[in-house]
Structure 1
Amino acid sequence: MKITVLALSHKIEPWAQQAVDQFIKRFPADWKVTIKEMKPEDRSGGKPTEQVLAKEAERLRAAVPKGALMVALDERGLRLTSKALADQLLAWHDASENLCLLIGSADGLDVNLKSQCHALWRISDLTLPHAMVRALLIETLYRSWSILAGHPYHRE
């Protein structure tokens, strides 16, 4: 399974990048996780938020790997337990589906782009900085793999 994370953000803090790197290197070869950082649109000049989000959405769509299922991270998305996420990832893995996770900019994601996604997932009910979201997302994906592999990382 290939999992691509498209993140609309500036470079993240070193502590968060270190956490992301540590978890990414733990995945087995058949779970290839990559992150593509994309610069958010320029918000200067009083551009309407909807216009900015629409431009970001165009760039995100163009960057989604061909045939990948799109899942947006959104504050109104589905709340999943670690086990439920692992089960969903297993189903996609077994169906040879590739996944593309979208992390929006400071203003989120374009409403039309979200409507085109296979699913919307919520990382937390809290508002979190991009660096934290990225680190939590990668840890959560690793935790899902560990559940499926029977690895002792996850405990219930």
Structure 2
Amino acid sequence: MPGWVLTGYDEYAKRMPRECELVLKEIAPGKRVKNSDVARLVRDEGERMIAAIPSGAQVVALDIPGKPWTTPELAEAMRRWMGSGQSVALLVGGPEGLADAARQRAQESWSLSKLTFPHPLVRIIVAEQVYRAWTLLNNHPYHR
């Protein structure tokens, strides 16, 4: 990832308190060449993604057809997640999107936008929105 992506993500991740820590687990995409079996690559990525989900975690798929939460709605979802005591896994698919198995594993589906964003930018947007939702829950002035 370019330095600006690491810097952007790290900026929001370091602001999060220990009880709501952001941990990025990158799943390497399969190698794409001219005649790749894209369906197989997506399935394999999905299997690796599912294997990386912590046991007992609440799983949220980030997917265009998901629910387009407002920041207050994301904050309420975070309140629920934190109240459950479970880890939360936010799944972001590869270049062709999420594998069907990853979608099926998710209990919720969240759409950042109907727009298509580059993957490096998505990790920054998600980190910032999670931080913003946390600040809203904690009456921190950042959200204003």
SS in 2 for 1:132: helix
CA-CA distance at 1:75 after TM superposition:
1.1
Could you list the per-position Cα deviations for residues 83-113 of structure 1 after superposition, in whole angstroms to 9, with x for gaps in the alignment?
Answer: 0010011011012121001111110111232
SS in 2 for 1:153: helix
2:102 alignment counterpart: 113
TM-score (norm 2): 0.95
2:124 alignment counterpart: 135
2:55 alignment counterpart: 66
Identical-residue share of aligned pairs (%): 34
CA-CA distance at 1:45 after TM superposition:
5.3
Moved >6 Å (runs of 4+):
none
- Identify, as 1 or 2, the structure richer in strand: 1
Q: Does 1:52 find its partner at 2:34?
A: no
The 2-side partners of 1:68 and 1:84 are apart by: 20
SS in 2 for 1:76: strand
Give yes or no for contact 2:46–2:100 (8 Å, CA) kept in 1. Answer: no
Aligned CA RMSD, in angstroms, stands at 1.1
The 1-side partners of 2:123 and 2:29 are apart by: 15
SS in 2 for 1:56: helix
2:16 alignment counterpart: 27
Question: How many residues of Structure 1 are paired with residues of Structure 2 in the alignment?
Answer: 144
SS in 1 for 2:109: strand
TM-score (norm 1): 0.88
Among residues 1, 4, 7, which one is paired with 1:18 in the alignment?
7
Code of the residue aligned with 2:124 in structure 1: it is: A
CA-CA distance at 1:51 after TM superposition:
1.1
2:90 alignment counterpart: 101
Could you list the per-position Cα deviations for residues 50-80 of structure 1 after superposition, in whole angstroms to 9, with x for gaps in the alignment?
Answer: 2111111111111111111111111111100
**Unmatched 5+ stretches in structure 1:** 1-11
2:26 alignment counterpart: 37
